[in-house]
Amino acid sequence: MTPALRRSYELLLALVAKEFKVRYKSTTLGFFWSLANPIFFALVFYVAFRHILKVSMENYFAFLLAGLFPWQWFANTVNISPAVFLNNAALIKKVAFPRLLLPAAMIGNHLVHFVLALLVAIPVVIAFGSRPTLWWIPGIPALLVVQFGVILGLSLMLSSLNVFFRDLEHLTMIFTNLLLYLSPVIYREDLVPEAYRPFFRLNPLYSIIPAWRHLILEGRLDGAGLLFGAAGAAFLLAVGYLVYRNLEWRFAESI
């Protein structure tokens, strides 16, 4: 590892640690708030769809949990990503460092919480009849990398644009709320009518969320879903980095 890469790596770890401390400063329950949101969402959707709308799906609560935990990592991170550079204005103006480490650290902080939440959720899923398999060993890291790439690409784009177009924070919240229902989080991906699936596949989460579910609930790695998700991650990373590189030189004067 070159000295420059080592310094960037050490700075990234320091920024992740800072984000972690700030997130739970003066809170009593701390990490458990990361579990509360997807669990309560799962309970609400379970009552609404299973008992009111009479959706006939076996182990529907486990199905919801397996989709909502990765969804929450995505939604929570993307929703706060537009403000990343603005919230670190003093640091950007005073210190020279790769600015993209700021959104990467924010995503890394939420990644830590997602992994910890996943460790808590897995016993619940096992209680519904699922069992760990050897596919979890390559599957979980692979899906973490792919979803990290998707979030980083979007976050780079949104945080860079929001320096100049501050309304983007509000638009992002609307976007993620709509995307929840355009992603197979509360329904199976095969329920989407065939005529609409090409449009749904433009959303990387259309492949990533089911891939998580297949891995956790069925113990199998969805190779096709992983490849589609990786393609979406590569595209979003390229676009996000391009936007960031073209706007980054103006950050200090615009923040």
Instruction: Name the amino acid, one letter, at 95.
Output: V
Write the DSSP string, 16-60: HHHHHHHHTTT-SSTTHHHHHHHHHHHHHHIIIIIIIS----TTH
Which is more confidently placed, 155 or 251?
A: 155
Across 78-85, average pLDDT: 92
The full set of domain ranges for the chain reads 3-254
CB atoms within 10 A of CB 77: 26
> Which of 106, 118, 124, 121 minimizes the C-alpha distance to 143?
118
Contacts 24+ apart (CB under 8 A), 75-80: 75/176, 75/179, 75/180, 76/37, 76/110, 77/106, 77/107, 77/110, 77/151, 77/155, 78/151, 78/154, 78/155, 78/158, 78/172, 78/175, 78/176, 79/172, 79/173, 79/176, 80/106
Mean of all residue pLDDT scores within the chain: 85
pTM value is 0.88
Backbone angles phi, psi at 80, to 5 degrees: -95, -5
Instruction: Name the amino acid, one letter, at 111.
Output: L
For residues 185 and 73, what is the distance between their CA atoms, to the nearest angstrom?
13
3 state DSSP class of 183:
coil
Q: Is the pLDDT of residue 26 over 60?
A: no
CB atoms within 10 A of CB 96: 7
For residues 152 and 154, what is the distance between their CA atoms, to the nearest angstrom?
5
Cα–Cα distances in angstroms (integers) from residue 24 to residues 118, 181, 242, 251, in the given order: 19, 30, 33, 28
Q: What is the pLDDT of residues 199-228, one digit of tens each?
A: 999 999 999 999 999 999 888 999 999 999
| Percent of the chain clearing pLDDT 90 (strictly above) | 40
Q: Is the pLDDT of residue 195 over 60?
A: yes
